[in-house]
Amino acid sequence: MKILVCISSVPDTTAKINFTADGKEFDKNGVQFVINPHDEFSLTKAVQLQETQGATVTVVTVGDVSVEPVMRKALAIGANDAIRVNADARDGFFVATQIAKVAKEGGYDIVLTGKESIDYNGGEVPGFVAGILDYGFVNGCVGLKVEGNAVEAIREIDGGKETVSVQFPVVIAGQKGLVEETELRIPNMRGIMAARTKPLSVVEAEQTSSNLKVVGYEKPASRGNVTLIDKDNVGELVRLLHEEAKVI
């Protein structure tokens, strides 16, 4: 069984976000990057399948050389090898096109992704990949079992959960719940040392057009000052909600 895990390099959740002076690009200066948390759940599941069912695990990322430390961390967690598509991850369709090419050429049985990246939160890439490849697709996956050449997946739906069975090849978009948080892997020294010698290949991007144009980025408006009301002063609270907040 061959598994391809799609890894996105995203700003640490504690990072302060800034944009360039013209508002057209994200300012990466001083920002620490990590594996996208949703992808980390999928990576951990893939490594578990490697340990229990002998799967081979490859991680793929679209990005320049700056994403390689994050890829090395994925290798230290347990992936067998890594592929970096040498291009700027400029939009979801472009990224999906690159991943689909790698998946098709590698003949992977399962393509595991996170349901979305925590920087842009577009949630586009998994569905695009499945559509380009014409593979089965399970989104929002919170449980996964592999039996023979099929997977039994549990996904979240409105008001509950749904269990589906899908034949290989398949795209699975995982999220929190795919594995327990306590099962997430922290690279140990042996893993870090092994990651230095594991293959990390660089391939050039497939040329494709894009209909997306970034007009600009801007931060949300700053929050106003907080007004503290004594817990016994209900009348003042009601007055402020009515006259100032205008929510009642």
Q: What is the CATH number of the domain that holds 8?
A: 3.40.50.620
Tell me what pLDDT residue 1 has.
Answer: 94
Tell me what pLDDT residue 176 has.
Answer: 93
Tell me what pLDDT residue 55 has.
Answer: 95
Domain that holds residue 34: 2-215
Work out the mean pLDDT of the chain and round it to a whole number.
Answer: 92
Q: How many CA atoms lie within 13 A of 155 on its CB side?
A: 18
Tell me what pLDDT residue 20 has.
Answer: 87
Query: In the predicted model, what is the mean pLDDT of residues 110-129?
Result: 92
Tell me what pLDDT residue 99 has.
Answer: 97
Q: Kindly tell me if the per-residue pLDDT of 173 is higher than 80.
A: yes
Is residue 245 in a domain? no
Q: How confident is the model at residue 224 (pLDDT cuts 50, 70, 90)?
A: confident
Q: How confident is the model at residue 205 (pLDDT cuts 50, 70, 90)?
A: very high
Is residue 243 in a domain? no
Q: Kindly tell me if the per-residue pLDDT of 113 is higher than 80.
A: yes
pLDDT winner (highest mean) among 46-50, 156-160, 205-209: 46-50
Is residue 226 in a domain? no
Tell me what pLDDT residue 155 has.
Answer: 93
What is the tally of structural domains in the chain?
Answer: 1
At position 49, the amino acid (one-letter code) is: L
Is residue 248 in a domain? no
Q: How confident is the model at residue 218 (pLDDT cuts 50, 70, 90)?
A: confident
At position 226, the amino acid (one-letter code) is: V
Is residue 232 in a domain? no
Is residue 109 in a domain? yes
Among 134, 130, 135, CA closest to 167: 135
Bridge partners for 2 per DSSP: 56
Is residue 223 in a domain? no
Query: In the predicted model, what is the mean pLDDT of residues 171-178?
Result: 95
Q: Kindly tell me if the per-residue pLDDT of 165 is higher than 90.
A: yes
Is residue 115 in a domain? yes
Q: Kindly tell me if the per-residue pLDDT of 17 is higher than 90.
A: no
Query: In the predicted model, what is the mean pLDDT of residues 100-115?
Result: 96
Among 122, 121, 125, 123, CA closest to 111: 125
Spatial contact of 23 and 217, defined as CB atoms under 8 Å apart: yes
DSSP H helices in the chain:
37-53, 68-77, 92-106, 125-133, 189-195, 234-243
Q: How confident is the model at residue 19 (pLDDT cuts 50, 70, 90)?
A: confident
Percent of the chain scoring above 70 in pLDDT: 100
